[in-house]
Amino acid sequence: MSLPAEPQALIDELTRLSERFAELVLPLSSAQFHWQPDPGRAWSVGQCVDHLQRTNRLYTAALSVAAEKGRAAGRSGHGTLRPNLLGRWFLGMVEPPARFKVPVPVRALVPHGEGSPGTTWSDFLASQDAVGQLLRESCDLDLEAIRFRNPVARDLQLFNLATGFLLIAAHERRHLAQARRVREHANFPSR
């Protein structure tokens, strides 16, 4: 079954992001994967990847709950991915280049600095697969009308499902840029 154009484009974008991360991450030694330009203040490449898989899992769970409620309420649609007004503003704040540093507001999203590169990478890929699978399953819903409870700011139910899915990709682009800056740092270890 073919997907509507917008969800397919987003799934393709997530695949491209995984490929870009693979190019960045897979050649790294464990020391390079965990190296921080400013320990305690700036994340390593590994922490960027770990943070993304944690965030993806949290958002996928929240989006899934909302999609189930939307399905139960008969909120069918055509799988269009247009964020609402607040969502457009928020997406603009998340997209790189990062205009400001955002503290991680949920403890569960704080990356670990010691994980195995292989396990962290596998967890990231699994989180990508889960996002893509949920998007495929949600294409018959009205993604613009169904709201979800933001897992980072639980009192905010102002974003629609479309914003949630688009936010995952924007967040990944932001941390891909951050991970690239770590790799390009003058003191990045040679092995």
At residue 118, the pLDDT reads 93
* Number of residues that this document lists for the chain: 191
Total domains in the chain come to 1
Domain-located, residue 191 = no
Q: What is d(CA 67, CA 92) in angstroms, rounded to the nearest whole number?
A: 24
Q: What is d(CA 143, CA 113) in angstroms, rounded to the nearest whole number?
A: 35
Domain-located, residue 122 = yes
Domain-located, residue 190 = no
Domain holding 145: CATH number? 1.20.120.450
Block means of pLDDT (10 residues each) for the chain, 191 residues, are 91 97 95 93 94 96 97 94 90 83 77 86 97 96 93 77 96 96 96 92
Domain-located, residue 22 = yes
Tokens standing for 151?
Answer: 């897992």
CB 112 within 8 A of CB 123: no
Domain-located, residue 18 = yes
Domain-located, residue 59 = yes
Domain-located, residue 112 = yes
Q: What is d(CA 3, CA 174) in angstroms, rounded to the nearest whole number?
A: 26
Domain-located, residue 123 = yes
Interior/surface letters 73-86, b for 16+ CB within 10 angstroms, e for the rest: eebebebebebbee
At residue 110, the pLDDT reads 85
At residue 151, the pLDDT reads 87
Phi-psi region of 186 (alpha: psi -120 to 50; beta: other; left: phi over 0): alpha
Domain extent, residue 172, equals 5-184
Closest CA to 110 of 58, 35, 161: 58
